[in-house]
Amino acid sequence: MSDQEQLQWEARYGRPAAIAAFAAGFLLLAGTFALQSIFEDRPRVEALPDFLLSAHDSPETLILSSALQAASALCLIAVFYYLFRAIIHRSPQVPKWFVYLILAGPVFYAVSQVVGAIDRVDVADTFAARSSDAGKFCPAIFGNRGDECAQDLLSDDVSPILVGLSLAGSVATAFLFVMLPLRARRAGLMSQFMAILGVIAGALMVLRLVPLVPEIVQAFWLGAVGAMFLSIWPGGRGPAWETGLSDPWPSSAERRGLVTAGAGSDNGGGGSSAEPAGTPPEPEPNPQRPSSRKRRRKRR
């Protein structure tokens, strides 16, 4: 495919890809806040038992939340594929097997979200009804004994297929969040800030160190990517989007006209060592002639 044909393809599908990015971010936040809405601060009940009791009281909300997050994951297919097509045209060395992860990863993640929610509703009903004797703490609900009972119930109800789907989907999707922005940065399609933010979103998707933060970072990145696809990025997009070539994304100094494009790249990004224009060259020192006394000694 020629550069002109690639640019025409990007212009044709840029708007649908941007809509998919906006939809993915919105659905992710909607599903996250729907999940948070079911929690109740029950006295003497730990976090995990409180979640199961909340799921028992509002199973429809839990399933709706998972369905919204699954729909968000499916929207990622269009976003990642559009970005992948733009990258691989400008950097053909990108592995072509990325496309299989783009198609399979979000699908696995979406299926695991919905099936996992249905499975958790069943566990929640068992926990709330106190009809299980799993472990040595069930059917307790309150305090540490209730927390141990909830953990035992969830451990006994583990499905290897569901765990495999969830692990494969989350790892593959997080891998795409990390690798595609890095490749896009090298191809000149994404700024350094956006590439780093994508890496952070992918890492938080797996680690989940702080609640709500992974979803907020991921949604922000998707919104910014959608704006970039529509060419409404603040300050404009990089020249690679206009030429179809792997042109570097201009730095902020280059955008302000303080530095010419590509300046400092040969010196590791530092300042130029060339002298300013108009500076007269230093005169070469004249070689000193030997004194008359030294010449007389040589004659002798």
Residue 292 pLDDT grade (very low, low, confident, very high; cuts 50, 70, 90): very low
What is the DSSP annotation of 213-237? HHHHHHHHHHHHHHHHHTT--TT--
Q: Tell me what the pLDDT averaged over the chain comes to.
A: 84
* Section 109-135 average pLDDT: 88
pLDDT at 271 over 90: no
- The maximal CA–CA distance of the chain, rounded, in angstroms, is 122
The residue count of the chain comes to: 300
Least confident of 63-77, 159-173, 244-258, 274-288: 274-288
Query: For 190-224, what is each residue's pLDDT tens digit?
Result: 999 999 999 999 999 988 778 889 999 999 999 99
**H-state helical runs in the chain:** 3-36, 47-57, 59-90, 98-129, 143-156, 160-186, 192-207, 213-229, 240-243, 252-255, 292-299
Least confident of 26-30, 58-62, 134-138, 140-144: 134-138
Instruction: Tokens for 242, please give them.
Output: 């206009």
If phi > 0 it is left, if psi is from -120 to 50 it is alpha, else beta; for residue 135 that is left
pLDDT at 127: 85
| pTM > 0.85: yes or no | no
Tell me the percentage of the chain whose pLDDT exceeds 90. Answer: 50
CA-nearest of 226, 173, 221 to 193 is 221
* Section 166-193 average pLDDT: 93
Residue 62 CA to residue 116 CA, distance in Å, equals 10
CA angle 272, 266, 228 (to 5 degrees): 100
Asked if 120 and 62 touch (Cβ cutoff 8 Å), the reply is yes
